[in-house]
Amino acid sequence: MSNDKSNKMETAGASALDGRSGIAAKPFDVAAVRAQFPVLHQNVHGQPLAYLDNAATSQKPAVVIDAVRTYYEKDNANIHRAVHTLSERATSLYEGARRSIQKAIGASSSKEVIFTRGTTESINLIAASYGRSVLSEGDEVVISTMEHHSNIVPWFMLCEEKGARLRVVPIDDKGDLDLDAFAGMLGPRTKIVSMCHISNTLGTINPLKEIIRLAREHNVCVVVDGAQGIPHVKINVNELDCDFYAFSSHKAYGPTGTGVLYGKQHILEKMPPYQGGGDMIASVSFDKITYADVPAKFEAGTPNIAGSIGLAAALDFLEQLDYGVFPDYEDELLAYAHDQLQQLDGLRIIGQAKEKTSVISFIIDRIHPHDIGTMLDNEGVAVRTGHHCTQPLMERFNVPATTRASFSFYNTREEVDQLVAGLKKIMKVFR
């Protein structure tokens, strides 16, 4: 949400990275978009469903559901291991999905696209393989206060194992990263910087270009947790110049249990395998094992074939929907929701960064978030309550939990009004 488009483009990493081209946006037909999401057209407790939990998982368009169903109905077989027709078709679809995702994120080669179970596994892979190879006692890993547990715990475990130090960049009261503090933390012992692209709790869009520029001055590897990035901004990993970018399918309108780790090929080739098993080897004997080339080296066992096919369909759907159009609609919806919620007496929004997108976390005086979430469900409104896997961030703002409404391009002003009406009813009950 910003009145300065050019500033937002620079913050997210230029127009090629965030979908803002400066060209006048085409009208966004939210009704036509909603028609493509079957799950949205239902009642919950007798009320129209207002699904505002998109930061946890997004809903799936019919084209994704159809892609997964078609695979299971016509092409289901294991990949890479057989010469029969179904296996060849499944392999073609799976590797075609990899090439499609490579194109969607601007990677130089399909070898830089590794399929994982999601952002969590991707970051664990980086920590266990790359991190364990480069980190020594006394070295440092830098993260931020706003990180999801998936971008805290793997690094904490690695630092504990290696005798390294985990350093945490502070944020201000609005939820913006303290870039001066970040710059001051970088030094000769810094080996890895791992930051979220967009905060799942605050909606803060981190200035990746500047983060990476500062890290490069010290020759530091940069990992980006892009779980909340891909659904809202256009990514080009080459222009961004991060070393790793991780994201999950289920937050980007694809199936659950699937994700992608992008890594620069020359780095991946030097990393040891993360897991051992079938399909990640070149040869096996009891005396010697040689490993396959990337990406196979990091894809042990049978993967989520249908999930990868569904993810490729989801990213293609986003491209056709147009990153030059729907992010502006999401910004307008966020601005409207901010305005409406701020008018409620006793409600405080946690996180009002200069650059943010699609997430509002809030507390209401004397009403526990879990009560809010339960009572909103009775009004047909789905939100998330709790610490959102960001307990250190909750501590920073001195709150045990928040209620989080997170938006997608298929949400409407009417659903925001439904949220506000539900909150007014709850406040009346408690007061």
For 228-237, what is each residue's pLDDT tens digit?
999 999 999 9
Q: Are residues 110 and 240 in the same domain?
A: yes
Average pLDDT over residues 124-148: 98
On whether both 289 and 370 belong to a single domain, the answer is: no
Please state, in angstroms and rounded to a whole number, the distance separating the CA atoms of residues 363 and 304: 38
The number of folded domains in the chain is 2
- Are 289 and 232 found together in one domain? yes
User: Is the pLDDT at 1 greater than 50, yes or no?
Assistant: no
Residues 303, 417, single domain; the answer is: no
15/163 same-domain check: no
Q: Are residues 313 and 327 in the same domain?
A: no
Cis peptide before 295 (omega within 30 of 0): yes
Query: Distance between CA 193 and CA 220 in Å, rounded?
Result: 7
- Which tokens is 405 given? 């409404």
Q: Is residue 206 scored above 70 in pLDDT?
A: yes
Instruction: Report whether pLDDT(7) > 70.
Output: no
What confidence tens digit (pLDDT) does each residue in 50-96 have?
999 999 999 999 999 999 999 999 999 999 989 999 999 999 999 99
- CATH, residue 389: 3.90.1150.10
What's the pLDDT at 431? 80
Mean pLDDT, residues 298-307: 98
What is the pLDDT, as a whole number, of residue 21? 37
pLDDT over 90 at 170, yes or no: yes
Q: What gap in Å lies between CA 341 and CA 377, rounded to an integer?
A: 18
> Same domain for 306 and 327?
no
Which residue reads 């196979």 in tokens?
296
Provide, rounded to the nearest whole percent, the portion of the chain with pLDDT above 70.
94
Torsional class of 304: left (φ above 0), alpha (ψ -120 to 50), beta (otherwise): beta
Mean pLDDT for the chain overall: 94
Q: Bigger pLDDT: 244 or 18?
A: 244
pLDDT the model gives residue 9:
33
Q: Active-site residue numbers?
A: 389
CATH number of the domain where residue 78 is located:
3.40.640.10
Which residue, chain included where needed, has tokens 């001051």? 184
Judgement on whether residues 291 and 336 belong to the same structural domain of the protein:
no
Could you give the residue ranges of the DSSP H alpha helices within 186-325?
A: 208-216, 237-240, 265-270, 305-321
Given this model, what pLDDT does residue 312 score? 98
pTM: 0.94
* Domain's final residue, options 284, 300, 320: 320
| Position 413 pLDDT exceeds 60 | yes
Q: Within 10 Å of residue 45's Cβ, how many Cβ atoms? A: 10
Whether the per-residue pLDDT at 25 is higher than 60: the answer is no
Q: Each residue of 207-235: pLDDT tens digit? A: 999 999 999 999 999 999 999 999 999 99
- Residue 31, pLDDT above cutoff 60: yes
Distance of CA 12 to the CA centre of its chain: 14
**What's CA 13's distance to the chain center, in Å?**
16
Distance CA 428, CA 421 (A): 11
Please indicate, yes or no, whether residues 290 and 203 belong to a single structural domain of this protein: yes
pLDDT given for residue 26 in this prediction: 63
Domain boundary among 320, 338, 355: 320
Q: Looking at the structure, tell me whether residues 388 and 418 fall in a common domain.
A: yes
Asked which of 17-21, 278-282, 404-408 is least confident by mean pLDDT, the reply is 17-21
**CA nearest neighbour of 274 among 293, 298, 292:** 298
Instruction: Band the pLDDT of 123: cuts 50, 70, 90.
Output: very high
What pLDDT score does 24 carry? Answer: 42
The Cα 345–Cα 30 span in angstroms is 30
pLDDT of residue 81: 84
**pLDDT (0 to 100) of residue 84:** 97
Q: Does one domain contain both 144 and 179?
A: yes
**How many Cα atoms sit within 13 Å of 26 on the Cβ side?**
10
Domain boundary among 270, 302, 320: 320
Cα gap 233→229, rounded to integer Å: 6
At which residue do the structure tokens 């469900």 appear? 377
Q: What single-letter amino acid sits at 329?
A: Y
Same domain, 158 and 298: yes
Find the domain containing 123 and state its range: 63-320
